[in-house]
Amino acid sequence: MTSFLKNCFSRKSKSEVEQVSSAKVYDVDSYDATFAIPRAILRLVGLRITRDDSTFVRLLWNVFYWFEFGNLFVVTWLELVNMAQTARGGSFQDAVEIFRMMPCVGYLLLAMAKSYKIVYHRSVYENLVSELRGMWPRGEVSDEEHQVVSTALRHLNYVIQENLVSELRGMWPRGEVSDEEHQVVSTALRHLNYVIQENLVSELRGMWPRGEVSDEEHQVVSTALRHLNYVIQENLVSELRGMWPRGEVSDEEHQVVSTALRHLNYVIQENLVSELRGMWPRGEVSDEEHRVVSTALRHLNYVIQGYYWCNNALLVIFLSPPFVEIIKILLGYDVPLILPFFYWFPFDPFQRGYYEVILVAQTWHGK
């Protein structure tokens, strides 16, 4: 509607108006929209990223964050004390109660660690967001700019590869080596393979055809991609399967495998984000491409909002039982009072007055 009014009342010529109306240019607003929900969630716990607040406003938000952090720190120790007291019972019911408490303690520790990392490395996160935002394309890029950048990158890759090969050849061991040297060399080779694969992907991306291609070129590219995917998947599965431990492993091996799996998940997620970012349209797109991108973004928003509201629904379900019991008592039913979390208290938390305050505090902690 806004674009229609602008076209009707602007002083541009008819040809210019038709050109603007048919053009769909992507700007940084689409990038900023991807951080809408994370920013809203971080704001609930007192974290504000990429905001140029005044000194007084920043102080208020910091006080609010440390108030939240202090609440989590206190209730974590209350949960741990209650777990220790419950473990002294030794019965099966006590074990069940402990298993009910353990996820809550884990989430509390994880929440404190992750939030403190964001606070401690706030500048790193803000620089990451701002740098990616600054790199986000604005408008259409000319062929001359693309030619300059791709040529410079290709020359830079050649220089890096030649220096790397020359230095590694001079450092390469001759003859029999010790187990420690073998470990170092095999690790270096594995990292080198990663670098070579990344450079190969970068070069292939620079050679990737832009715009419309003929049917013959499309056939060649699609066939090569299909074969390349088969080779990559087979090699990856074969190597990981050969390296996978069999039978019982020691604590050190378990630590190594779990760390490797965690890093693998990070790499997969980073590669997925990088590939999707590389596939993002730059500049003006056709009506068909705009329809595909807008539909995909709309579906992605549906998924994100679905997870967000499902988590909210689970939170309401988890925190609602104490209030349901209060309603039953008001209706005349003889039911005991309950609390959402199993905190340890040096007094009876179900006394009148104490219970209401503790219930409000625990509901605030649970949100």
Is 159 part of any domain?
Answer: yes
Decide if 293 is inside a domain.
no
- Listed range (24-38, 221-235, 276-290) with the worst mean pLDDT: 24-38
Cα(first)–Cα(last) distance of the chain, in Å?
Answer: 39
79 and 30 share one domain: yes
C-alpha to C-alpha distance for 63 and 85, rounded to whole angstroms: 33
Residue 315 falls inside a structural domain = no
Helix (H, G, I), strand (E, B) or coil at 41: helix
pLDDT recorded at residue 131: 79
pLDDT, tens digit (0-9, with 9 covering 90-100), for 60-77: 888 888 888 888 888 888
C-alpha torsion angle, residues 260, 265, 268, 274 (rounded to 10): -110
pTM over 0.85: no
Q: Indicate if 136 and 152 belong to the same structural domain.
A: no
The per-residue pLDDT for 1 is 38
Q: 122 lies in a domain?
A: yes
Helix (H) / strand (E) element for 337: namely none
**Residue 84 belongs to a domain:** yes
Residues 48 and 104 in one domain: yes
Residues 31 and 124 in one domain: yes
Domain enclosing residue 329, as ranges: 320-366
| pLDDT interval class at 263 (50, 70, 90) | confident
Indicate whether 35 and 116 sit together in one domain. Answer: yes
Q: Which of 330, 333, 339, 329 is nearest to 359 (CA)?
A: 339
Q: Are residues 112 and 204 in the same domain?
A: no
The answer to whether residues 65 and 112 belong to one domain is yes
Together in a domain, 158 and 133: no
Q: Is residue 70 part of a domain?
A: yes
Separation CA 194–CA 28 (nearest Å): 32
Q: Does 63 map to a domain?
A: yes
- Whether residue 106 is contained in a domain is answered as yes
The reported pLDDT for the residue numbered 5 is: 37
136 plus 83 within the same structural domain? yes
At 269-327, the pLDDT tens digits run 888 888 878 777 778 888 888 888 888 888 888 888 888 888 888 888 888 888 888 89
The count of domains in the chain is 3
